[in-house]
Every structure is written in structure tokens, then in C-alpha cells.
Structure 1
Amino acid sequence: MTSSGDARGGDRPVSWHLLTGEYPPQPGGVSDYTRLVAQSLARAGQGVHVWAPGDPEVREEHGVTLHRIPGLFTPPGLVRLTRALSHHRAPRRLLLQYVPHAFGLKAMNVPFCAWFAARRQDERWVFFHEIVYPWSLSAAPRHQLLAGVTRVMARLVGEVADRAFVSIPSWAEHLPPRLRHRAEWCPVPSNIPTEVPVASLVATQATLGAGPWLGHFGTYGSHVRGPLFAVLVPLLRADGQRKALLLGRGSQGFAQELGARHPELASRVQSRDTLAPEDLAAHLAAMDLLVQPYLDGVSSRRSTTMAGVALGRPLVTQTGHLTEPIWRESGAVALAEGTTPEALVALVERLMSQPEERAALGVRAARLYRERFALERTVESLLRASL
């Protein structure tokens, strides 16, 4: 394989074609990530097209040409996509944002994966944000079917990929042998601003009022609600001056539920369900400590963690089977061993009593982000010639 300037096309520059199941204004981490990467490639002088589902449209945005095709990953949509791609001169590089549930058919869209595998005239790159549904012998039959089909899909796509990226190293274990050791770990960068003007931070702090403030950023799904309740309630009860700020979609509902279950804490819990990216960054930057419980552990695919780390905020989280060694080696976050709420609470209490340690934690977080996780590192990986 050759560099991005001459791949499969002599001296003609390759054109990038990003295939994604979501793109702004559609919400979602993959949506935001795809836009960040597409616009960064365009700023680097690349010709970039994005193909996403939605009402028919073609428009240019910050140097990126966005194409929306109804039912993009359905058989009729793929016919339209095939026809549209043929109008773009070769060489073409398809960069698939791989998330099984984003392709429809209840995350079992084998026909789309077969279509991608058949695109021999194009260079095929894949970014595996997620890869397979977990398999368990005790799972319901429908879940075992889903686990099996997603493995077939990953093999179809992986067998033909000229280059592959994974959001966390453990995803590579599910790739075909030929690709397993060549897959590149490319952590997902923060999808909100990584710097906050001093004036914005001061204004946000004034609006929030005195703390100390414990923050959480997430989507408040069923997998995190229980652990978050189990951590926040004892932390707020332990110190009557503490307050909690819940950020992200679903935060208002979570705050209301916490207040209903624990009325004595309701006045010290605030939420911001939807904020502009700049305002979200300012609120995160105003936190004394971020508390991010994850039952499967912190990993570099957690955009909620990346947002705090990028801003240099001290962050407490947990180890788990998806946690990469870099988190322990770098000391960029405070890690509670295992997934018990008691361990997380104890770690938070220690850090709240040691402001110097919290400050040092934030410095290490910002340094790690700049060196390993920043968007610039992603673009460098994409533009680097394959070995």
C-alpha cells in the first residue's frame, strides 16, 4: 500500500469517502467523531466526502461534501450509494465507521457487510468503534444469535480491510488473524472543545456558586444509573457543602429521580441536559472532581472520559476488563480497583481532602491527552503511509 497521495491511482490524489450511520445534527459519539475527522482531513488538503442516512441532500460544510441517502445501508440505499460513488473519480478510499447497530436490521446487517467486502475497486479502511455483541452460553437465544451474526459481520469486513483501526486494543481480538496484529489503536478524541476561555470559566463558576462540585458527564443509561446512585448519594451525605452537577442527555431525568428518592439531597443536585459544546466544556472545567463509574472499566472509547481528560480535570473512575494499561501507567486518572461503589467512594473522599493531588492528576491528564489522544494524533495516523 502507498501513501494517501498516490494510493491505487498513480499520481492522482485519493478521495476519502467516510461511511457512517450518523452525522450531525444527528446526535451520538460516532456522529461527532466522524465530523471532527472529516473536517480535519479537509483542512489537511484532502478531498473528503461523507455518506450518511437521511433525507436526500448534497451540501458542502467546512470543506467536506455531505451526501445523505435515505436508507443508506438497506439494499435500495446501497444501490443508490453504488451509483453515486461511481460518479467520483478513482482512486477512492472508503473509511467505514463500524458500529453494528448503526447499520440497521437489528445490528445484523450482513448484506451491507457483503456489499462492503465486494468493493474491490476501492481501497477499504475500517474504524471499529464497536465490533461484536458479547457472547454468553447462558444468554437468551436471540442474544446468542446476535453475538454470532456480529462475528460474521466483523469477519466479512475485516477480511477485506486494507487498513483497520480500533477504538480500544481489545477489539482487535475479534478480527480475522491476518488483521489482528496489524490493527492500529486509534483512541477516540474529545468531541467538545479542549480549551475554555478564562472569562467563560469565571462566568460559569459564578453561575454555579460555591462548591465543592462533583461532576458527572454521560447519557445516564441503565448500565450506569445504579452505580452512579450508589456513589453520589454517600458522597453528598458525607459533606453538606458538596454539590453535584450532572451533564449530558438524560441528566435532568436522573437528577429528578435522585431528588425524589432522596429529598434531602435534591437542592444540591443540578443538571444540564443539553448544552452547546462550548458551554459543556466550561461546566466540565468548573468541576473540582469528575466521577465516572463504568462497570466494564474506563477505556479510550469513552468520549465522556476523554472530554474531562482533555480539559485537564481530575477524574475518578474504575478498572474493568476493557481498561487499557495506559490508564494505570500514566496516572492520568484515579483508578478504583474493581467495580464496587465503596472503592470509588473511598477514592473520591481521599482526593477531596488532597487538593494538591487533584491538581497533579489534572496536569497528568492534560499531558496524556495531548501526547496520545488528541484529534491531531488521529489525523496523523490516518495520513501516515501504511507499513
Structure 2
Amino acid sequence: MGDSPRSWHLLTGEYPPQPGGVSDYTRLVAQALAREGQEVHVWTPGEPGTFEEHGVTVHRAPGLFLPLGLRWLSRELNRCRAPRRLLLQYVPHAFGMKAMNVPFCTWFASRRQDERWVFFHEIVYPWSLSARPRHQVLAGVTRVMARLAGGAADRAFVSIPSWAEHLPSPIRQRAEWRPVPSTLPTSVPAQALATVRAALGTGPWLGHFGTYGSALRAPLEAALVPLLDKDSKRQVLLLGRGSQPFAEEVGTRHPGLRSRLHSRDSLAPEELVAHLAAMDLLVQPYPDGVSTRRTTAMAGLALGLPLVTQTGHLTEPLWKNSGAVALADGSTPRALIDTAERLLSRPEELAALGARAAQVYRERFALERTVETLLRPSP
């Protein structure tokens, strides 16, 4: 008889109903593994309790990754069936202690009785010589944490290839690039789509999906305002948390466009994708460029939507090579606008771009590809 299969133990700083991309991603992966017949546990901070959800056992405890919580976590893990595989969803700020939780990473490195895997969603705080001293300390400490967790890992995954540069050798050479899939439903019932389109009315409709952080607001406004000015029939729909105040701010600065700026701030996932799918073109600028950790871009690709964006220092070569999105030639709003105008004037090219997006998503990014990788033996 062969060895018994390992039980999976996903360690994450957030899990639904807590909002967040890592929260949604962890639940998707946990439930997908459970559907494959795996024994799956999730360990996450929160109100104390244990419950079953779609074949996954979820364990919550307050301060789970703080020193006192780690004692409880060690005891409870040791009560679970061996052999065990820990799959850490690594985001420094999710572990508490103001993103400097060295004790947790030390604890993880010490669990030699378990197989230790790490998925690095984010890895270090950026370092700059001109940064404030506390930010320089944070940058240094997050690098120590990454080396502790990565150095102890039996297998490591990175959401973008450049994260591997911060890992110690030899795990750096063995780190596997695993793009993050869409954390939203990847299909929309025809009736739901028809209902949204009827409610929205005629377009063309330009969409944006995001969280409207400070670094994005100015370039997004700089792209959308000229696109609306060019054609009075165009409408913009802003989706995601923070979309309503952003729409109000832009409308205040450009009162003539206010009636064509629409927002849906907090839609349920099914409603959100129905509104996304109704868009003619997604306009998705990213300050550091499009990359495979951008779940907002993945949501559009999964639905087969044409998407215009731009490259940056975190952009992987596949975006240019695959043709899954329209890449603006340069990082300026003008480049994004020109690319969007070209697509809007060529309906056949717009449709072909959407079809290519859906194909590339299925082949490279879908949740099924992630599960295949996790269940495949280490390379």
C-alpha cells in the first residue's frame, strides 16, 4: 500500500466574508481542491470557531498569526491527520504586526514535520534611499520575512515572475510562476446580461473595474474624460469599491460629463460580472503595468471582454506575445486614449480582441490551471 495522501492546510490572513483578492482566491482554491477529493483545511484570523463550507473545514481564531495565536495554531495543526501540507498565502501586511511579523515567518520555517508550500501574492515593501526611515525599516524587515518563509519552502509559487528575485537561492530558481485567476464568476446567464443591458441603455459603454486607489485616480480620469468628450453617445460605468466617490469627484470637475458617468459601488459577484459583461471596452490603466496578479484584469479576460491597458515594470512578456489585451504604446494617458479610439472605430478588431482574451484566459489563467499545477508533482 502507498502512503496516505497529504491533507491540505491553507494559511491565509483573510478569508470570506472578509473582503479582498487573497480572501476570494483562497476560497476558490480551497473549494476546487475539495472538489478533487482532497482533505482541505483553511486557517485564518477571526472570531473563534470551526465550520464546514463546500467540503472545506475553516478554522478561525483571533490573533492567529501573532505569538500567542501561534501556540494554538501549532496545537490544532498537530491534532490533524498527518502527513500535512501547509500552503501559505503570503502577503506581509496580512499577518499583523504592521507587516513586520517575523515571529510568524520563523514559526512557519520551523514546521519541519510538515511539507511547506508558499504562494507569494506580494513579497516585499519597496525600498528607496529617499524613503522615510520607518519605510526603510519596513522594506528591510519584509525582505527578512520573505527569506525566512521562502528559504524554508519545499515548493514556492509567485503571482508574477519578478517576485522570485527577492527569494533566497536555490528556491529562487525553483519558484513557479502561477498567474492568479479571476476571483469572480467567469460566465453570465443570458437573461441576467440582457436585463443589465436594458437597464443601462444604449452606448457605447466604456467600463473600468478596480478599487480606485490614489495612484490610479489621476491616470484613469485623464483617459476617460477625453474619451467621453470625443463622442457624446459614450457612457462610462465604474465598477468596484470606491467607484461612487470617484465618479462624483470627476463629475464635479467636469459637470458637462456628470450624466454620462455611472457607478456601481458594492455589487454582489453575480451582479458585478453581469455589469462587466455588458461593457463594450474596458479601460484599465495600472501604475506599474498590467500583470498576472491583477484580478481586475483577469475578471474581464475571463468574460471575453476587449481590454485596453499599458505596460509597466511588473508586466510580463506574455501580455504582448499573447494578444489577450490591447497594449498602449507608452504609459501616458494619451497612448491609452489613442489605443481605445482605434479599437472603438474598428468593431471587428474589438470583437476579435474579446475572443482572444477568452481563449488565452482558458489556456493560461483559469482556476483549473492552478489546480492542475497544485496537484502535479513538483518539477
TM-score after normalising by structure 1: 0.97
1:202 matched residue in structure 2: 194
Q: Distance in 1 between matches of 2:125 and 2:329?
A: 25
Shift, 1:262, TM fit: 1.0
Shift, 1:338, TM fit: 2.6
The answer for unaligned runs of 5 or more in structure 2 is none
1:170 matched residue in structure 2: 162
Q: Secondary structure at the match of 2:47?
A: coil
Q: 2:235 aligns with which of 224, 229, 243?
A: 243
Which amino acid letter does the alignment assign opposite residue 280 of structure 1? L
Which amino acid letter does the alignment assign opposite residue 159 of structure 2? S
2:56 matched residue in structure 1: 64
- Does the alignment pair 1:335 with 2:300? no
- Does the alignment pair 1:307 with 2:299? yes
Q: 2:92 aligns with which of 100, 115, 138?
A: 100
Which amino acid letter does the alignment assign opposite residue 195 of structure 1? S
Q: 2:147 aligns with which of 148, 152, 155?
A: 155
Contact 1:50–1:64, Cα closer than 8 Å, also in 2: yes
Q: Distance in 2 between matches of 1:253 and 1:204?
A: 22
Q: Secondary structure at the match of 2:299?
A: helix
Q: 1:111 aligns with which of 83, 103, 106?
A: 103
Contact 1:294–1:339, Cα closer than 8 Å, also in 2: no
Q: 2:33 aligns with which of 30, 41, 51?
A: 41
What do the CA deviations read for 1:209-258 (whole angstroms, capped 9, x no partner)? 00000000000010111111111111111111100000000001111111
Q: Secondary structure at the match of 2:282?
A: strand
- Does the alignment pair 1:225 with 2:222? no
1:375 matched residue in structure 2: 367
Q: Secondary structure at the match of 2:285?
A: coil
Contact 1:23–1:32, Cα closer than 8 Å, also in 2: yes
Q: Distance in 1 between matches of 2:78 and 2:322?
A: 47
Shift, 1:86, TM fit: 1.2
Which amino acid letter does the alignment assign opposite residue 268 of structure 2? A
Q: Distance in 2 between matches of 1:223 and 1:114?
A: 33
Aligned length: 379
Q: Distance in 2 between matches of 1:92 and 1:337?
A: 48
Q: Secondary structure at the match of 2:79?
A: coil
Q: 1:346 aligns with which of 330, 335, 338?
A: 338
- Does the alignment pair 1:122 with 2:114? yes
Q: Distance in 2 between matches of 1:341 and 1:349?
A: 12
Q: 2:376 aligns with which of 371, 381, 384?
A: 384
- Does the alignment pair 1:28 with 2:2? no
Which amino acid letter does the alignment assign opposite residue 51 of structure 2? R
- Higher mean alpha-carbon deviation, 25-34 vs 257-266, is at 257-266
Shift, 1:260, TM fit: 1.1
Q: Distance in 2 between matches of 1:181 and 1:31?
A: 28
Q: Distance in 2 between matches of 1:134 and 1:336?
A: 26
1:3 matched residue in structure 2: none
Q: Distance in 1 between matches of 2:348 and 2:5?
A: 51
Which amino acid letter does the alignment assign opposite residue 240 of structure 1? S
TM-score after normalising by structure 2: 0.99
Contact 1:20–1:52, Cα closer than 8 Å, also in 2: yes
Percent sequence identity over aligned pairs: 75
Shift, 1:337, TM fit: 2.5
- Higher mean alpha-carbon deviation, 49-58 vs 337-346, is at 337-346
Q: Distance in 2 between matches of 1:86 and 1:11?
A: 19
Q: Distance in 2 between matches of 1:315 and 1:246?
A: 14
What do the CA deviations read for 1:323-355 (whole angstroms, capped 9, x no partner)? 000000011100012321111011111111011
Q: Distance in 1 between matches of 2:312 and 2:35?
A: 37
The answer for unaligned runs of 5 or more in structure 1 is 1-5
Q: Distance in 2 between matches of 1:42 and 1:184?
A: 22
What do the CA deviations read for 1:187-215 (whole angstroms, capped 9, x no partner)? 10001111111111111100110000000
